[in-house]
């Protein structure tokens, strides 16, 4: 049995669907008359589509004219469609927007010339054909622009330049559908009401008023008899937009009430009554169908000129707080830096200090004998701890040896300080480079589409609920999932569940709380629509001594881009000191990643900070599994970390590599690998407290599956133990499974 996805992606099926759709559209457009006037809609359509689709438009137009008896009344329009299709085949014209416009206008004019030569057009009859040629060209350009945008895939992201073509196509589409009637109710009026209500709900007052105005223009273009009802559509759309935060039923009632006012104030006629009934039916469709969700899947407004000043300010403040610690460390290091001078030769220094004032200098240094110089060079080469012996005939031996000892100690101290200074400089420059990369990333063009109207809608909804948020932003990425960022003062009391419920009800989308982060005086909350994959975690730990904390730490968190992180750190040694090092590494890593840094950059910065903490050797491992909740792709980063087991497609793979922990070398490079996971796959991150002899048991436990927490405790309980029953090292087991999340409604 052939699946729908295979049919949907089959190019032959899609091509056949396009040709069939063009033929059906031509049948509907062929008989359309706007206020009693025939317009070259099919000519514009034939010019905008491919040659094969143009032939389908010609066939559909001819069939429609033949069946309705209009073939003799509208031969010129059919001729224009035929000329367009023939020219496309003969010349091989590519369906570009400008080319389509020229082809439609030229074909319409050529058809008029042909019938003028036949004596069927003369005098003032040329005026409608000239206007028709211009209209056909403009419509062909608009149709081609719209088709090009839809060719990139759904949802279509609209920009400023798309306003005119989409508006024109919408107006003529609604006007054409007004001619298709069920009893006395046109489908155009139904579509106008549905689109206006949807735009009001989705984009509030701006969307409701704009779509109401365009719908009114379409209805009056189709039939001026509906002007009384059509004139109220902009006001109805504006009023519905003002109530966008309320229920869909409230919007429907207000919209229909304003339409009824137009029905009452205008002259009663069958056209206006039919238009109002069509609005009733279209509004019912708005109530029954998930209008906002359909709008998001079809069209999205990409407002590049949105005012993001408040958001940018909040983000930069949040970012500056995140790197405040780095700046402070750099300033302290810079304060310790002093310009050191190159140490002089110890022999020359002692000679200058002692021998230059000695009365016997001439006997030792100016007699032509180099014995004194050789003896001084020997003393200079001796180790600082060696017992020095002055020259045999020296009159101040104790002073010479004491000065050599002092000089050697000063030289050793200077060398140590110089080495520390150079290391500090290297670390400082590394921190500065990381900070520059972070700031550069912050000002790069965003990979998301920000929605101004939705942002204002969310801000208004939060204000009505009394939630103190200073800045907000609503965006969608390539996965089309909505992300809401909320920034507030750190002392503001925010209830994530209350906020999620409030915005879910206002947006009519199920939202889930992702994470809450804080930096300095700022806090940020992230909410996201459901979808993709979810990660379930469980952990177990056991310490070497029951009276001391485990020297390992673990953490799980998410970032603002839909990634879930599993992180484990093992501090050097055991007990409180090891736990403190591991905790510092994980907390800094989480804060830097959630502020927007890449994993490598965050680890590089933490490595620099660990190396500048003190002169003591302090280090900790870092084991990270980054899981993309959209694609279920996992990326491993290992800095001296223990093994990681991954169960995928029934097979269990071990990932382990010899790398340096955080805080040992200035340039710490991780072992990295990427693996595609699926629903039901499992990960298990372990510290080195588990002996390799337990690996078969871990594989067996992961293969068996079952409760994740039970498995983690079982693996931890199997740790290698001493004769007293205590584990020989701290043990941490962090396990996770990947499952499909509930799709948003």
Is-contact 373 386, C-beta < 8 A? Answer: no
* Whether the predicted pLDDT of 137 surpasses 90: no
Domain assignment of residue 574, yes or no: yes
> Which structure tokens are listed for 35?
């206020």
Which residue has 């359509």 as its token pair?
45
Domain assignment of residue 450, yes or no: yes
Domain assignment of residue 658, yes or no: yes
What pLDDT, on the 0 to 100 scale, is given for residue 736? 93
What pLDDT, on the 0 to 100 scale, is given for residue 744? 38
Lowest mean pLDDT among 107-111, 176-180, 325-329, 515-519: 325-329
- Using the 3D structure, point to which of 267, 302, 337 is the last residue of a domain: 302
Domain assignment of residue 735, yes or no: yes
Q: DSSP string of 294-360?
A: HHHHHEEE--TT---HHHHHHHHHHHHHHTHHHHHHHHHHHHH---PPPPPPHHHHHHHHTGGG-TT
Domain assignment of residue 516, yes or no: yes
Scored b (16 or more CB within 10 A) or e, 689-699 reads: bbeeebbeebe
What pLDDT, on the 0 to 100 scale, is given for residue 362? 62
Rounded distance between C-alpha atoms, residue 566 and residue 733, angstroms:
11
Indicate if 116 and 264 belong to the same structural domain.
no
* Whether the predicted pLDDT of 682 surpasses 90: yes
What pLDDT, on the 0 to 100 scale, is given for residue 550? 83
| Domain CATH for 561 | 3.60.40.10
Indicate if 374 and 494 belong to the same structural domain.
no
Domain assignment of residue 682, yes or no: yes
Domain assignment of residue 345, yes or no: no
Indicate if 255 and 285 belong to the same structural domain.
yes
Enumerate residues 6+ apart whose C-beta is below 8 A from 294.
Answer: 198
Indicate if 620 and 654 belong to the same structural domain.
yes
- β-partners of residue 472 are 486
Mean pLDDT, range 633-661, rounded to an integer:
90
CA distances from 613 to 297, 591, 600, 618, 623 (A): 52, 19, 20, 8, 21
Indicate if 473 and 577 belong to the same structural domain.
no
What pLDDT, on the 0 to 100 scale, is given for residue 261? 86
Sign of torsion over alpha carbons 607, 612, 614, 616 = positive
Question: If 0-12 CB within 10 Å is exposed, 13-18 middle and 19+ buried, where does residue 490 land?
Answer: exposed
Is-contact 371 391, C-beta < 8 A? Answer: yes
What pLDDT, on the 0 to 100 scale, is given for residue 304? 43
Rounded distance between C-alpha atoms, residue 615 and residue 141, angstroms:
72
Which tens digit of pLDDT belongs to each residue from 490-512? 888 888 888 888 888 888 778 88
pLDDT range class, residue 347, cuts 50, 70, 90: low
> Over the chain, what is the mean pLDDT?
77
Indicate if 390 and 503 belong to the same structural domain.
no
Provide the domain count of the chain: 5
Mean pLDDT, range 182-188, rounded to an integer:
80
Mean pLDDT, range 272-284, rounded to an integer:
86
What pLDDT, on the 0 to 100 scale, is given for residue 265? 79
Indicate if 377 and 502 belong to the same structural domain.
no
Residue from 431, 684, 449, 641 nearest 552 by CA = 641
Among the ranges 2-11, 55-64, 93-102, 701-710, which has the highest mean pLDDT value? 701-710
Mean pLDDT, range 588-602, rounded to an integer:
84
Residue 602's φ and ψ, nearest 5 degrees, are -65, -45
Looking at per-residue pLDDT, the higher value among 315 and 651 belongs to: 651
Residue from 20, 11, 35, 302 nearest 163 by CA = 302
Q: Which domain holds residue 81?
A: 1-153
Mean pLDDT, range 712-740, rounded to an integer:
77
Looking at per-residue pLDDT, the higher value among 676 and 573 belongs to: 676
Is-contact 454 352, C-beta < 8 A? Answer: no
Sign of torsion over alpha carbons 139, 143, 144, 145 = positive
What pLDDT, on the 0 to 100 scale, is given for residue 339? 44
* Whether the predicted pLDDT of 315 surpasses 70: no
Among the ranges 175-179, 681-685, 719-723, which has the highest mean pLDDT value? 681-685
Indicate if 462 and 504 belong to the same structural domain.
yes
* Whether the predicted pLDDT of 667 surpasses 70: yes
3-state helix, strand, coil in the chain (%, to 5): 55, 15, 30
Rounded distance between C-alpha atoms, residue 504 and residue 555, angstroms:
28
Is-contact 632 649, C-beta < 8 A? Answer: no
Which tens digit of pLDDT belongs to each residue from 34-45? 776 777 887 888
* Whether the predicted pLDDT of 513 surpasses 60: yes
Looking at per-residue pLDDT, the higher value among 422 and 737 belongs to: 737
> Which structure tokens are listed for 453?
């109207």
* Whether the predicted pLDDT of 725 surpasses 80: no
Rounded distance between C-alpha atoms, residue 552 and residue 534, angstroms:
26
Which residue has 């000329």 as its token pair?
83
pLDDT range class, residue 743, cuts 50, 70, 90: very low
What pLDDT, on the 0 to 100 scale, is given for residue 654? 92
Indicate if 93 and 124 belong to the same structural domain.
yes
Mean pLDDT, range 622-630, rounded to an integer:
90
Among the ranges 108-117, 323-332, 621-630, 683-692, which has the highest mean pLDDT value? 621-630
Which residue has 């595609």 as its token pair?
676
Rounded distance between C-alpha atoms, residue 408 and residue 3, angstroms:
84
What pLDDT, on the 0 to 100 scale, is given for residue 565? 92
What count of Cα atoms within 13 Å lies in the side-chain half-sphere of residue 703? 10
Which tens digit of pLDDT belongs to each residue from 399-449? 767 776 777 777 777 777 666 666 665 665 566 556 656 555 555 555 667
Rounded distance between C-alpha atoms, residue 585 and residue 604, angstroms:
11
Looking at per-residue pLDDT, the higher value among 100 and 652 belongs to: 652
- What 8-state DSSP symbol labels residue 742? P
Mean pLDDT, range 535-556, rounded to an integer:
85
Lowest mean pLDDT among 20-24, 451-455, 628-632: 451-455
Rounded distance between C-alpha atoms, residue 489 and residue 498, angstroms:
18
Is-contact 271 225, C-beta < 8 A? Answer: yes
Which tens digit of pLDDT belongs to each residue from 199-230? 888 788 888 888 889 888 888 888 888 888 88
What pLDDT, on the 0 to 100 scale, is given for residue 125? 66
Indicate if 473 and 611 belong to the same structural domain.
no
Domain assignment of residue 144, yes or no: yes
> Which structure tokens are listed for 610?
């660990």
What pLDDT, on the 0 to 100 scale, is given for residue 615? 52
Looking at per-residue pLDDT, the higher value among 381 and 51 belongs to: 51
> Which structure tokens are listed for 445?
């063009």
* Whether the predicted pLDDT of 90 surpasses 60: yes
Indicate if 522 and 547 belong to the same structural domain.
no
Residue 139, classed as helix, strand or coil, is helix
CA distances from 721 to 577, 595, 717 (A): 22, 41, 9
* Whether the predicted pLDDT of 4 surpasses 50: no
* Whether the predicted pLDDT of 636 surpasses 90: yes
Q: Where are the alpha helices (DSSP H) in 223-308?
A: 227-230, 233-242, 248-265, 270-288, 291-298
Looking at per-residue pLDDT, the higher value among 261 and 157 belongs to: 261
Indicate if 395 and 377 belong to the same structural domain.
yes
> Which structure tokens are listed for 141?
């350009």
Is-contact 645 686, C-beta < 8 A? Answer: yes
Looking at per-residue pLDDT, the higher value among 366 and 465 belongs to: 465
- β-partners of residue 639 are 622
* Whether the predicted pLDDT of 307 surpasses 60: no
* Whether the predicted pLDDT of 644 surpasses 70: yes
């Amino acid at each position: 049995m052939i699946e729908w996805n295979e049919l949907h992606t089959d190019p032959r099926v899609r091509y056949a669907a396009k040709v069939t759709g063009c033929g059906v559209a031509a049948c509907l457009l062929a008989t359309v008359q706007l206020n009693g006037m025939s317009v070259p809609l099919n000519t514009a359509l034939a010019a905008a589509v491919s040659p094969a689709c143009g032939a389908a438009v010609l066939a559909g137009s001819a069939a429609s004219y033949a069946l309705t008896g209009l073939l003799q009344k509208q031969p010129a329009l059919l001729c224009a469609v035929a000329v367009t299709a023939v020219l496309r085949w003969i010349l091989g014209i590519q369906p570009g927007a400008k080319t389509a416009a020229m082809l439609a206008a030229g074909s319409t004019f050529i058809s008029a010339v042909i019938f003028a030569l036949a004596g069927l057009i003369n005098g003032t009859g040329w005026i409608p054909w000239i206007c028709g040629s211009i209209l056909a060209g403009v419509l062909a350009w608009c149709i081609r622009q719209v088709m090009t945008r839809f060719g990139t895939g759904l949802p279509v992201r609209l920009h400023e330049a798309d306003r005119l073509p989409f508006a024109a196509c919408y107006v003529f589409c609604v006007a054409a559908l007004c001619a298709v009637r069920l009893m006395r109710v046109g489908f155009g009026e139904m579509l106008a009401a549905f689109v206006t209500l949807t735009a009001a709900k989705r984009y509030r007052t701006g969307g409701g008023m704009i779509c109401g105005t365009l719908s009114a223009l379409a209805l009056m273009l189709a039939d001026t008899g509906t002007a009384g009802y059509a004139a109220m559509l902009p006001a109805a759309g504006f009023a519905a937009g003002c109530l966008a935060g309320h229920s869909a039923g409230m919007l429907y009632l207000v919209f229909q009430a304003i339409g009824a006012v137009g029905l009452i104030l205008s002259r009663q006629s069958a056209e206006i009554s039919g238009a109002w009934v069509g609005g009733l039916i279209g509004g019912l469709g708005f109530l029954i169908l998930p209008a906002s969700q359909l709008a998001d899947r079809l069209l999205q407004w990409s407002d590049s000129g949105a005012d993001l000043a408040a958001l940018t300010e909040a983000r930069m403040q949040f970012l500056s707080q995140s790197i405040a610690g780095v700046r402070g460390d750099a300033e302290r290091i810079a304060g310790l830096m002093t310009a050191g001078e190159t140490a002089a030769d110890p022999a020359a220094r002692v000679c200058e200090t002692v021998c230059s004032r000695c009365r016997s200098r001439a006997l030792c240094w100016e007699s032509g004998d180099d014995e004194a110089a050789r003896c001084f060079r020997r003393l200079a080469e001796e180790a600082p701890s060696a017992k020095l012996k002055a020259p045999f005939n020296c009159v101040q031996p104790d002073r010479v040896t004491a000065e050599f000892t002092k000089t050697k100690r000063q030289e050793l101290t200077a060398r140590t300080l110089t080495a520390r200074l150079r290391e500090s400089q290297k670390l400082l420059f590394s921190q500065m480079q990381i900070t520059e990369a972070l700031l550069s990333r912050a000002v790069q063009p965003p990979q998301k589409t920000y929605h101004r109207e939705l942002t204002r809608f969310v801000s208004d909804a939060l204000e009505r609920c009394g939630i103190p948020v200073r800045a907000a932003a609503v965006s969608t990425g390539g996965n089309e999932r909505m992300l809401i960022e909320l920034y507030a003062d750190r002392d503001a009391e925010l209830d994530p569940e209350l906020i999620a419920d409030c915005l879910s009800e206002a947006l009519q989308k199920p939202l889930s709380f992702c994470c809450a982060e804080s930096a300095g005086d700022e806090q940020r909350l992230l909410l996201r629509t459901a979808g993709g994959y979810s990660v379930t975690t469980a952990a177990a730990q056991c310490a070497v001594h029951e009276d001391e904390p485990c020297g390992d730490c673990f953490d799980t968190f998410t970032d603002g881009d839909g990634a879930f992180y599993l992180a484990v750190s093992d501090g050097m040694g055991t007990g409180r000191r090891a736990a403190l090092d591991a905790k510092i590494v994980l907390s800094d890593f989480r804060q830097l990643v959630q502020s927007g840094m890449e994993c490598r950059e965050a680890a590089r910065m933490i490595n620099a900070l660990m190396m500048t903490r003190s002169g003591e050797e302090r280090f900790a491992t870092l084991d990270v599994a980054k899981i993309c909740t959209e694609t279920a792709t996992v990326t491993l980063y290992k800095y001296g970390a223990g093994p990681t087991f991954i169960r995928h497609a029934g097979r269990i793979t071990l990932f382990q590599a010899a790398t340096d922990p955080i805080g040992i070398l200035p340039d710490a490079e991780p072992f990295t690998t990427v693996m595609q996971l699926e629903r039901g796959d499992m990960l298990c991150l372990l510290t080195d407290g588990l002996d390799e002899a337990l690996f078969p048991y871990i594989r067996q436990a992961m293969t068996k599956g079952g409760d994740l927490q039970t498995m983690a405790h079982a693996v931890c309980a199997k740790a290698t133990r001493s004769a007293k029953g205590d584990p020989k090292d701290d043990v941490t087991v962090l396990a996770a499974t990947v499952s499909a999340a509930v799709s948003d409604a």
